[in-house]
Amino acid sequence: MQLWFARGSEVSIREQLVTQVILGILSDDLAAGQRLPSTRELARRFHIHPNTISSGYRQLERDRWVEFRHGSGVYVREQRSDRGSPAALVLDQLILKLFRDAREIGAPLSAVRLRLRQWLELQPPDHFLLIEPERELGEILTVEIRHSVAFPVESCSIDDIPKELDGAVPLMLPNRTAAVRKKLPENTDVLTLQVRSVPSSLSGWLPAPTGLLIGVASGWPNFLKLARTILQAAGFHIDSLLFRDTSKANWQRGLPQTAAVVCDTLTAAQLPPNCRAIPFPLVSESSITELRRYVESIRNPLAESHSEKFTC
């Protein structure tokens, strides 16, 4: 994973490290079980005091993003996954038994699929339900998904999850999974959204340009905070960055004079017409692809190609 550190910034080196590691985990740039660079290695490579790095790693451990393995190093914490769980394996066995039993009684595959479709259509999924405790972030993610997927999207906070999902397919960010699952009925199918990789998205804008005023606008406070941290760490001087909170009055002031405005997808549509918007989508391309495939599977749940044969 690419790391940047800016000295003399109003954002501490420790916070720059912590922020980049968290974003790396959320975007899958850092995989579960992956070993992070040692304190000594980072200190030597970036000429940073070891205590600063150790402090950052300890904060990440307290927040359960990483774990220390004695004598081995610091590793991205393993996340619970439903794939390969005992329940999933049992379900696979039940489905396999269904097809085997159908073959033994001479039922054609087309008849099995027709009956399955009838059962599935009793209450088919008809919309995504984004569950996100931060209202501003929820609005941004909802707009992104609506722009990318031809399927209804609603949103709610964790405390407002309906008791009956009624055709809703829950969506959430990876760091919300544990809290959301406690509120959902057992064995509810959920889709986890991955965050877009920041280093990959920034690569086309580096090295940081000089002499240009860049705007940063969003109604989500953490977008502004993360942008301040990452852009400064990547070499953008704080004096060349103009930050605007869209929840404040006259937030558009000064933005037309910038070379470009880095913003979220929701804010991009609210900028003055003469501003050059650089929207930063939060949801990764892989997650958007997964959502589209899910929608296709709902619309064609048991689509059968003419060349398919019934084998078990």
pLDDT tens digits, one per residue of 261-273:
999 999 999 999 8
Task: Specify the amino acid at residue 122.
Answer: L
pLDDT at 307 over 70: no
Topology of the domain covering 13-76: Arc Repressor Mutant, subunit A (1.10.10)
User: What's the rounded Cα separation, in Å, for the pair 228 and 233?
Assistant: 8
User: What's the rounded Cα separation, in Å, for the pair 183 and 177?
Assistant: 10
Contact 92, 299 (CB under 8 A): no
pLDDT of residue 149: 94
Query: Which position has the token pair 């919300």?
Result: 176
Quickly state the pLDDT bin for 312 (edges 50, 70, 90).
Answer: very low
pLDDT at 309 over 50: no
Which one, of 288, 261, 295, lies nearest residue 147 by Cα?
288
pLDDT of residue 303: 44
H or E stretch covering 299: helix 285-299
The winner for highest mean pLDDT among 48-52, 74-78, 123-127 is 48-52
Quickly state the pLDDT bin for 308 (edges 50, 70, 90).
Answer: very low
pLDDT tens digits, one per residue of 281-298:
999 999 999 999 988 877
Output the CA torsion sign for 235, 236, 239, 245.
negative
More confident residue, 121 or 290: 290
pLDDT tens digits, one per residue of 173-225:
999 998 998 888 877 888 999 999 988 888 887 888 888 999 999 999 999 99
Topology of the domain covering 86-195+287-299: Rossmann fold (3.40.50)
